[in-house]
Amino acid sequence: MTFPEALEQKKSAIDRLIEEHLRKEEGYASLLIEAVNYSLRVGGKRIRPILLTEANRLFAGEVMPEAGTLAVALEMIHTYSLVHDDLPAMDNDALRRGHPTTHAKYGEAMGILAGDALLNEAVEVAFSAVLSAEDNERTCKAAAMLFNKAGIGGMVGGQSADVLAEKRNEFIEEEKLNFIYENKTQALIEASVMCGAMLAPKASKEDVRALGRAASCIGMAFQIRDDILDVTGDEKSLGKPIGSDERNGKSTYVTFAGEEGAKKRIRELTDEACGIVSRYTGEDDFLIELFRFLAIRDI
């Protein structure tokens, strides 16, 4: 099987798992449920849940049921953050991946509530994973770590610094830019991989730490790639306009290192991440191919 075929297969497996966790669109809250399901279905690449399940497979041999369930919770967390990011008071985006954003389709109030419902749903799914797991405590620690990285000390914290700088139209110095990257994007990608490893009884604390380091490299490379795509990407395949960072006077990694410097940094980060993971992968190198794919992606 080629890498794109394998990736597509794993994406379909995640899509099926997500479908199993969707609620029926019925009753007085049916429009909210419809907005939640729409947000979860519309065009996600499922990178984070694939990272979680593949990191889990690396140590557990096959994907543990609780890893599949927490992967769904993780995608719900990621999706809620996109739904709220797109709101008029935030990035005010009407399109994402070529489709109307949730608030554009269902109205602003429903956009807020659908995001809230998605985060709450992620919690409910995570608790169900803990309660049905063979090892409750191990699963609980992995789930708690996910939400730590999604919260004030991670994703939401990074997002707040980003939004605030944008609203105030302020120049972001390099130290703050690193803070935003490490928290807004990298934290949840790091959490994905660490969570998958933590769930496997075979993975030691050192293993989890090593995988976490690899994932933080990939998370940073992923974000820098985003910056490059905003300069050189193809609007049609990206499904969004390019050049918006420069138009908005927004400093990015490219501002500080230039396009070549940014590409070099991505190569270094990817090499480090792949070097770490290759110590574990043996024959199965899907995760390494995925890391390299994320670093050179065009979408």
The binding site for its own copies (CB under 8 A) comprises: 23, 27-29, 31-33, 36, 80-81, 84, 87-90, 107-113, 115-117, 119-121, 123-124, 127-128, 130-131, 136-137, 140-141, 143-144, 147-148, 150-152, 156-161, 163-164, 167, 176, 179-180, 183
Task: Compute, in degrees rounded to 10, the torsion defined by CA atoms 248, 251, 256, 258.
Answer: -30
Q: How far is the CB of 86 from its own copies (least distance, A)?
A: 11
- The nearer residue to its own copies, 177 or 294, going by C-beta atoms, is 177
Q: Long-range contact list for 245-251, CB < 8 A, 24+ apart?
A: 248/166, 249/169, 249/171, 250/166, 250/172, 251/171, 251/172, 251/173, 251/177
- The nearer residue to its own copies, 7 or 32, going by C-beta atoms, is 32
Q: How far is the CB of 188 from its own copies (least distance, A)?
A: 12
Orientation angle between helical segments 155-167 and 65-85, nearest 10 degrees: 10
Q: Taking the CA atoms of the chain, what radius of gyration do you get in angstroms?
A: 19
Q: How far is the CB of 180 from its own copies (least distance, A)?
A: 8
24, two tokens: 């029926």
- The nearer residue to its own copies, 73 or 224, going by C-beta atoms, is 73
Q: Backbone phi, then psi, for 46, in 5-degree steps?
A: 60, 30
Q: How far is the CB of 165 from its own copies (least distance, A)?
A: 9
- The nearer residue to its own copies, 125 or 266, going by C-beta atoms, is 125
Q: How far is the CB of 158 from its own copies (least distance, A)?
A: 7
- The nearer residue to its own copies, 220 or 277, going by C-beta atoms, is 220
Among candidates 194, 164, 168, 167, which has minimal Cα distance to 180? 164
Angle at 288 between CA 282 and CA 291, to 5 degrees: 165
HEC profile of 155-167 = HHHHHHHHHHHHH
CB 72 within 8 A of CB 13: no
Q: How far is the CB of 115 from its own copies (least distance, A)?
A: 7
Q: How far is the CB of 131 from its own copies (least distance, A)?
A: 6
CB atoms within 10 A of CB 160: 14
Extract the runs of DSSP E, i.e. beta strands, from the chain: 95-96, 99-100
- The nearer residue to its own copies, 150 or 266, going by C-beta atoms, is 150
- The nearer residue to its own copies, 57 or 84, going by C-beta atoms, is 84
